[in-house]
Structure 1
């Protein structure tokens, strides 16, 4: 009996010792495959922010910033999908997420996001990504429709999937390995893709990848896709298909992709071959643990 009692006490102490700290749970909303959450500033009404893993800096819409009287004191250069922009910055700002989690020391860049609001038919106050990912372990649980924040101090993953190591890219971007089989080939190609929760499609291949691996078939006609990023500059690229792709233990066949051919998308410093978008990422509940350089992609029910 004493041994049983000792075992129970030891189990309880172990549970307490390894109990992880859930910092906050808030609703997450999916609009046209994009993820949105509410944040607060200056005791004002909640703001509608997009969660974008490709956002190397937090961005606020011009109209929203003017309404909040955000104190912009500096300027920086921001790289978007279209071009490099000069943007005003409000330094060392604090956001409140949920009732208690404070996101401190955030530099906020000012950009006109009205074109995104118009496209999605909903007001977009801002875009947040790396600043949130660097201050907490972030879980986007689509089955529960929640964004869950954990302390980085004692986090341990409680799901079934194995972690994948994140690959550091330029501008605080995050990459993962993927395999593809192009049309007209039976050979798989190993690539690195940037995780981009602001991309609504399956996969996009950068211009240098399209050229190096000859992803565009000769004498084949492709449709043009007009796109834009955080700025309103339009890009004109091509849409096509690949035979298959494997990612995080799952396989997709005959999926539509985007081939970047627009000169505005040309960049020599891109480490990734392309980016992976929400049409694939939404198949998973994802936990980002940047403190350990890991990501968990758990297949949804």
Structure 2
């Protein structure tokens, strides 16, 4: 008699691929910046890079580049916080290692980062394009998964984001002291050392400079000029179904981070994200907030 066999069904490869991370990297906080250890080809010294989801390009400190004897291969234009363009030297890191994970041929812009403290560079989009990135603030770990399906086991709320150029943007709303609620589109900027940094056109349009009380001011040197910030707070921020109270905010007349598809109200930074575990699936434009 003929016998018929049926192969036992197995979950798809995609369903299995992200049960386990490919790397778990402990990070330290330096002035509200998530700093991870990295290596570059040609050197055995551990370098320290800020991970910032809002960093559209990889930046290498000019001091570090000199120590590594890296020369500029070309020049390109890079925008500062105030969107002014500066001509910057560019080099290529043959391989950037995060534990055993390799990022080959990383283009790095050379900039003086000495004012950020003991850091050698900044990385953001280049890392998120290669991996799914989970930022676990509670355990101070950066967890990397293979690109593809978002890892199973996330208990946080799923938010779908858009891209402004290459920076993730989500919807959120703020409450003003007079009770008015304003919705807006905000950059996800995990490396921003603030709660919310508003774009000036959004401030001017909604008269935030007259509605928000001034707490203090800051004078900060950007790439090309000194910027003057006014610091305040809003009674609440609503993001991803969560309500955060008394969120610090800042603005400056020089800040105008243009939106390619719509008005961008500003950026949400560390003082908000520190209360969450974030999982960012850049390819699928998914953000989980836990």
TM superposition score normalised by structure 2: 0.87
How far has the Cα of 1:260 moved from its partner? 2.1
Spell out the pairing of 1:122-137 with structure 2 (5 A cutoff).
123-137=118-132
Spell out the pairing of 1:187-198 with structure 2 (5 A cutoff).
187-198=180-191
How far has the Cα of 1:267 moved from its partner? 5.5
Equivalent pair of 2:157/2:288 in contact (CA under 8 Å): yes
Is 1:173–2:173 an aligned residue pair? Answer: no
Q: Return 5+ residue gaps in structure 1 as ranges.
A: 1-8, 118-122
Q: Return 5+ residue gaps in structure 2 as ranges.
A: 1-7
In 2 relative to 1, CA 130–268 (structure 1 residues): closer, same or farther, beyond 3 Å? closer
In 2 relative to 1, CA 63–219 (structure 1 residues): closer, same or farther, beyond 3 Å? closer
How far has the Cα of 1:56 moved from its partner? 0.8
Q: 1:158 aligns with which of 145, 153, 156?
A: 153
**In structure 2, distance between residues paired with 1:30 and 1:220:** 30
Equivalent pair of 1:116/1:124 in contact (CA under 8 Å): yes
Q: What is the number of residues matched between the two proteins?
A: 278
How far has the Cα of 1:54 moved from its partner? 1.4
Equivalent pair of 1:115/1:232 in contact (CA under 8 Å): no
SS in 2 for 1:197: coil
Spell out the pairing of 1:53-68 with structure 2 (5 A cutoff).
53-68=53-68
Is 1:253–2:254 an aligned residue pair? Answer: no
SS in 2 for 1:265: coil
Is 1:235–2:227 an aligned residue pair? Answer: yes
Is 1:217–2:210 an aligned residue pair? Answer: yes
Equivalent residue number for residue 295 of structure 1: 287
Which one has the bigger helix percentage? 1
Is 1:25–2:24 an aligned residue pair? Answer: yes
In 2 relative to 1, CA 279–97 (structure 1 residues): closer, same or farther, beyond 3 Å? same
Cα deviation code 1:42-81 (max 9, x no counterpart): 2321101111111111000111101111232111111111
**In structure 1, distance between residues paired with 2:28 and 2:144:** 16
TM superposition score normalised by structure 1: 0.84
Is 1:85–2:86 an aligned residue pair? Answer: yes
Cα deviation code 1:12-35 (max 9, x no counterpart): x44986242522111111223210
Q: Output the aligned Cα RMSD.
A: 2.4
How far has the Cα of 1:232 moved from its partner? 7.0
SS in 1 for 2:210: coil
Spell out the pairing of 1:88-167 with structure 2 (5 A cutoff).
88-91=89-92, 93-98=94-99, 100-117=100-117, 123-167=118-162
SS in 2 for 1:217: helix
In 2 relative to 1, CA 154–219 (structure 1 residues): closer, same or farther, beyond 3 Å? closer
**In structure 2, distance between residues paired with 1:164 and 1:151:** 20
Equivalent pair of 1:52/1:197 in contact (CA under 8 Å): yes
